[in-house]
Amino acid sequence: KERTETQFTRLIGATPLQVDLTLVRVTEHQSKNTSEDYLKAFYSTWAEVRERKFDGFVITGAPIANIPFEEVRYWKEMVEIMEWTQTNVHRTMFICWGAQAALHHFHKARRYRMEKKAFGVFRHHGVNPRSVWLRGFSDSPMIPVSRYNDIARDSLGSDLEILIDNAEIGVCMLDDPKHRAVHMLNHLEYDNRSLADEYERDQKAGLGTALPLNVYPDNDPTKEPENPWRSHGSLLFQNW
């Protein structure tokens, strides 16, 4: 969580607005990787903020991609939070598993497991360059991806607009005007070492994960990764 906080606050803090940031966690979930003392010091539970209203709310991912949504321990609260955004939040950004969950809840979109993990930095296609969310974007941004699942295109209704796409690994970003939301399935918030560190963790764990595509210069894992998506991450949050 601490690294994720840094990634998001760096992007949000770079916008022209002065932002009062509130860190929120699911009320009934015990974190495995972050100490309770840290969470109590810096986080509010959703139960503590549910009476408040927010200009923007970011709902991030969770490493539970293979668990059916309804079997996630805190799914009931997650549904309450998603419904709460419709009355207490002006704009919501759902990211990674958060986007998959929101598409499932609001649109009954169908998630499926891909034949192999999409892992690396992939060139995408901006479908609607006139969208306010893509103001300043190039036509073919490079975007970090790390996921096993995709959303079936034929389950996406006409009330959703695909903003960024990739024919090989699936939809990247959708606009959801009915719910005042943007769904980002990938990770423009990542820093240059995010995918490399994930790869190195998998290697140490003996998982045999393939080298992430387009991360290391010359595909040499001894070289420091570069960051060709940094400007697009800043633009996305500035536009949002």
Mind listing the pLDDT tens digit for each residue in 71-115? 999 999 999 999 999 999 999 999 999 999 999 999 999 999 998
Mean pLDDT of the chain: 92
Say if residues 143 and 121 touch (Cβ distance below 8 Å).
Answer: yes
Let me know if 2 is a catalytic residue.
Answer: no
DSSP letters for 159-183: T-EEEEEETTTEEEEEEEGGGTEEE
> Hey, what are 175's tokens?
């606009």
Name the active-site residue from 77, 104, 172, 189.
189
Asked about 187 being catalytic, the answer comes back as: yes
pLDDT on residue 208: 80
Q: Is 96 a catalytic residue?
A: yes
User: Catalytic: which of 104, 107, 179, 187?
Assistant: 187
Residues 77, 96, 107, 183: which is the catalytic one? 96
In which residue ranges of the chain is pLDDT below 70? 28-35
pTM (2 decimals)? 0.92
